[in-house]
Chain A
Amino acid sequence: MQEFVRHIWGAELIWSQIIASLPLTDYDVWPNGPLDALFDLHLSAVRNFQMLLSNPDTSWDEQSVDYPWRRPEQPKPTPRKALAHVLLHGQRHWAQLSTLVRAAGFPSGVLGDLLFSAALD
């Protein structure tokens, strides 16, 4: 489970770096734990996203970004697609996680649907 959470937040960080053209933090360098260290991956990603979003010069759709694990047949995404991808990548995995812990006998009570979000009116 910890590795799965590491994957979710680590992916956020590396995609934020890809979109921001920052040096990439290699997968091998991501901490394995504890939880706070993993959460720092998320916080670092959020800082990068906020920096991009607050910069009016950020180009969201005029050029593509590349990622190291892209297969040749896969197109390079625009930054806007990459941002949407990583945000929803996390949401899809949280949904899987909630099923997993419930099936293991530990229902989380997470209400992950957008309907329950206070971020949207």
Chain B
Amino acid sequence: MNLAISIEELLAWNDEASAFWKAHFEANPALLQLPCDIGGTATVQEFVRHIWGVELRWAQRIAGQTPIPREEMLAGPLDALFEMHTSANDIVRKLLEDPKQDWSAIVTLDLPWLPAQLRKASRRKLMAHMLFHSQRHWAQLATLVRSAGFPSGFYGDILFSAGIE
């Protein structure tokens, strides 16, 4: 072990967050219908779809696959949304187990909303982005549901993660 936090550890941390929110929504399904305006969404369920859907699309890009079109991402139910997360994990873990993968390889992104100078990035950077994108949104979600009167008890900080020593 050294100072660097590995992608595998971040993946475990991200998995903990997803597992927490899935269980939390299963216990409190009404939360999914709360209004939300983050990430171009209208409800918490749409926001969760955005988080897990983006994971899948980034995982597919990193693997050299064509990302699933947004309009083909299911709107629900929760289990279907969670499957996008597990599919993303499956793709990423398979890549991580392959020692021949070149993580410094540059990917050209066909994303018109991205500034032109940022449309080339290493697969390593994209992997880290994918994981942190979710974590930043889970933090926003924790604030959103608390502000709406339903504190989640979410401990999202790395300090509380069992996946990192």
Q: Mark A56-89, 1 if CB is under 8 A from B, else 0.
A: 0000110000000000001001101111110011
**Cα distance, A92 to B132, chains bound together (Å):** 9
Chain B residues within an 8 Å CB radius of A112: 136
**Cα distance, A77 to B132, chains bound together (Å):** 21
Chain B residues with CB under 8 Å of chain A are 1-5, 37-38, 104, 114-115, 118, 121-122, 124-126, 128-129, 132-133, 135-137, 139-140, 142-144, 156-160, 164-165
Chain B residues within an 8 Å CB radius of A85: 157-159
Chain B residues within an 8 Å CB radius of A81: 158-159, 164-165
Interface of B: prevailing SS: helix
A120 within 8 A of B: yes
The interface centre, meaning the residue of A53, A60, A88, A116 with most chain B CB atoms within 10 A of its CB, is A88
* A88-B158, A92-B135, A115-B121 as given contacts; A78 in contact with B165, CB under 8 Å: yes
Chain A residues with CB under 8 Å of chain B are 53, 60-61, 74, 77-78, 80-85, 88-89, 91-93, 95-96, 99-100, 103, 112-116, 120-121
Instruction: Name the contact of B143 in the complex, choosing from A61, A77, A100 (C-beta under 8 A).
Output: A100
**Cα distance, A56 to B104, chains bound together (Å):** 26
Instruction: Name the contact of A80 in the complex, choosing from B1, B114, B128, B160 (C-beta under 8 A).
Output: B1
The interface centre, meaning the residue of B1, B137, B143, B156 with most chain A CB atoms within 10 A of its CB, is B143
| Contact between A95 and B2, CB atoms less than 8 A apart | no
Instruction: Name the contact of B158 in the complex, choosing from A84, A100, A121 (C-beta under 8 A).
Output: A84
Chain B residues within an 8 Å CB radius of A77: 159
Could you list 10 further interchain pairs (A-B, Cβ under 8 angstroms) beyond the known A92-B135, A99-B143, A121-B122? Answer: A84-B158, A84-B164, A88-B157, A91-B135, A95-B136, A96-B142, A96-B143, A114-B132, A115-B125, A121-B104
Cβ-closest chain A residue relative to B58: A115
- Name the distance in Å between A109's Cβ and chain B's nearest Cβ: 13
Cβ-closest chain A residue relative to B156: A92
Chain B residues within an 8 Å CB radius of A61: 1-3, 165
**Cα distance, A117 to B114, chains bound together (Å):** 12
Cβ-closest chain B residue relative to A11: B157
* A61-B165, A91-B132, A99-B38 as given contacts; A80 in contact with B139, CB under 8 Å: no
